Structure 1
Amino acid sequence: MKLLFFDDFKLGVLKGDAVVDVSDAVKDIPHTGPHNLISGLIERFADYKGRLEGAATRGQGKPVSQVRIRPPLPKPYNIVAMAVNYMEDGTRAEPAPINAFHKSPNSVIGDGDTMVLPDVPATIFEGEAEVALVIGKKATAVGAGQAMSYIFGYLNFIDGSARGLPPSGNTFYQMK
């Protein structure tokens, strides 16, 4: 099931090229905004999955071209990213050591929104396509064999970076 927020942060299900409004199916989840709604839904997904599937089947969809797609997780509690998580260019024989870093939850934007660049003396700003995993339940010291059972879903993510900053102090967070 492909969940999304659209227009005025209505909850929808993507079915092909159409978005079906399923907001009524989750209106009883206590929330003060879309960030609480999606967090509450993730916590209670087993209870709401059938309702969402039914609403998506019965509902009339709107073409994707006629809606504004919003951030799927408008204010995530935490964003942890991994540096040097690629191997496809052939320059590495084995994965690099784990090098995690935090990204600001304020940096989340929606489809077609403008990425605000920091006022830093970078030589270039880059947007790198990533796959983001949404962790659906509390996880501590999880082994590789169990890791997938903690993932609620995934989404596309553009990691904005500033490159070529002068080497004075800790600029890593500034460039991300």
Structure 2
Amino acid sequence: MKLALVDDYVPALVEEESVRRLAGDLPEIMALPPFYRMAGLIEHWGELRARVASSKAPRLSLDEVALRAPVPRPTKLLCGQLSFKEGVAEASVKPAFFLKSSTSVIGPGDTVELPSVDAPVFHHEAELALVIGKRAKNISAATALDHVFGYTCFLDMSARAVGHGTSFQDKSYDTFGPMGPWILTADAAPDPHDLNVRLWVDDELRQDYPMADIGNPIGDMIAYASSIAALEPGDVLALGVNHQGVGPIQDGETVRIEIEPIGGFAVQVRDPLGRRWEKGIDTRLAATVLRMVRGEPLGTVEFSRRIDR
């Protein structure tokens, strides 16, 4: 099942190329603040699932509604940090997360606004994200996936090297967390380790990596997060990225993510300062991350060069 928020944050059931607005089916959810309706639906899914599945609301085409971020204000938005082996089979990767501001979240068709900070570069990171379905605290890796409600696509936009080593400052700017287009419920999803993540900038395919490259089983990552903080229904865990296809984003570009069978969406990029960087994959960043996962000396950390000055 695919669940979305549309228009004024109305829960909706997505069926192929059509959508049913569930306002009439879920009056108790509609009574909640708009940003928290999906979290409410998730928390009470056991009671409401049959009502959603049997909805007779009129079918609308996807073109007739505006898709919103499916979880527009997660109570916790955790992002995996250096989560992937980067194609290095022998790499040893430890689970790690950082908190990203929930006000960074935007939805399909929205605009990423690059802030005026003096960052060496701004990057895209296409990621699989999971949405927690039931409370998880100190759970085992073996049962962790039972706590997942579903999966969605996430773009972890980044301003490099402005936070003096803290990812929160690099990644929490408003609009830096595009999410969507909906949630594919876990019972309808394949093994998340079998998925493939792709991203285009305009017509250029940049990221195309398998979730099988992740450094730890996803259940281990959830269990690790739950050992630190209780995970609640509607919390979002973005699982991190393979950096070998990461590159700059700049004014006027369209960035599109796709993870089948979840789906995909696009956002626009706006930079009031009109800054420009070398286009394409940031091979300098890719090489730096490879050195990190191999345990080699980092040396000088470099990024794609700015070309407008």
Task: Calculate the TM-score normalised by the size of structure 1.
Answer: 0.88
Quick one: structure 1 residues 99 and 118, their matched pair in 2 at CA, closer, same or farther if it must change by over 3 Å?
farther
Tell me which residue corresponds to 2:10: 10
Match for residue 143 of structure 2 among 146, 152, 166: 146
Equivalent-residue separation in structure 2 for 1:81 and 1:72 (angstroms): 17
Secondary structure at the counterpart of residue 124 of structure 2: strand
- Give the ranges of 4+ consecutive aligned residues of structure 1 lying more than 4 Å apart after TM superposition: none
Quick one: structure 1 residues 158 and 169, their matched pair in 2 at CA, closer, same or farther if it must change by over 3 Å?
closer
CA contact (8 A) 1:30 1:40 kept: no
Greater relative contact order (Cα < 8 A, sep 6+): 2
CA RMSD of aligned residues (A): 1.8
1:77-131 superposed Cα distances (whole Å, 9 cap, x missing partner): 01011111223x4235234112210000000001010122233221221121111
| Percent identity between the two aligned chains | 33
Equivalent-residue separation in structure 2 for 1:7 and 1:100 (angstroms): 32
Quick one: structure 1 residues 95 and 154, their matched pair in 2 at CA, closer, same or farther if it must change by over 3 Å?
farther
Secondary structure at the counterpart of residue 13 of structure 1: strand
Equivalent-residue separation in structure 1 for 2:36 and 2:69 (angstroms): 13
- Read off the aligned partner of 1:109 and give its amino acid letter: I
Quick one: structure 1 residues 169 and 159, their matched pair in 2 at CA, closer, same or farther if it must change by over 3 Å?
closer
Task: Calculate the TM-score normalised by the size of structure 2.
Answer: 0.52
Tell me which residue corresponds to 1:133: 130
Secondary structure at the counterpart of residue 4 of structure 2: strand
Tell me which residue corresponds to 2:25: 25
Equivalent-residue separation in structure 2 for 1:95 and 1:133 (angstroms): 23
State which drifts further: 41-50 or 21-30: 21-30
Alignment of 1:1-176 (within 5 A): 1-29=1-29, 31-55=31-55, 58-87=56-85, 89-163=86-160, 165=161, 169-176=164-171
Tell me which residue corresponds to 2:187: none
Secondary structure at the counterpart of residue 145 of structure 1: coil
1:32-51 superposed Cα distances (whole Å, 9 cap, x missing partner): 42233222211110100000
CA contact (8 A) 2:8 2:34 kept: no
- Read off the aligned partner of 2:170 and give its amino acid letter: M
Secondary structure at the counterpart of residue 28 of structure 1: helix
Quick one: structure 1 residues 149 and 37, their matched pair in 2 at CA, closer, same or farther if it must change by over 3 Å?
same
CA contact (8 A) 1:134 1:151 kept: yes
- Read off the aligned partner of 2:141 and give its amino acid letter: A
Displacement, 1:31? 3.8
1:1-38 superposed Cα distances (whole Å, 9 cap, x missing partner): 11101112221111001111112111123744223322
- Read off the aligned partner of 1:162 and give its amino acid letter: A
Secondary structure at the counterpart of residue 90 of structure 2: coil
Equivalent-residue separation in structure 2 for 1:120 and 1:170 (angstroms): 15
CA contact (8 A) 1:31 1:40 kept: no
CA contact (8 A) 2:43 2:134 kept: yes
- Read off the aligned partner of 2:69 and give its amino acid letter: P
Gapped regions of structure 2 (runs ≥ 5)? 172-309
Number of corresponding residues: 171
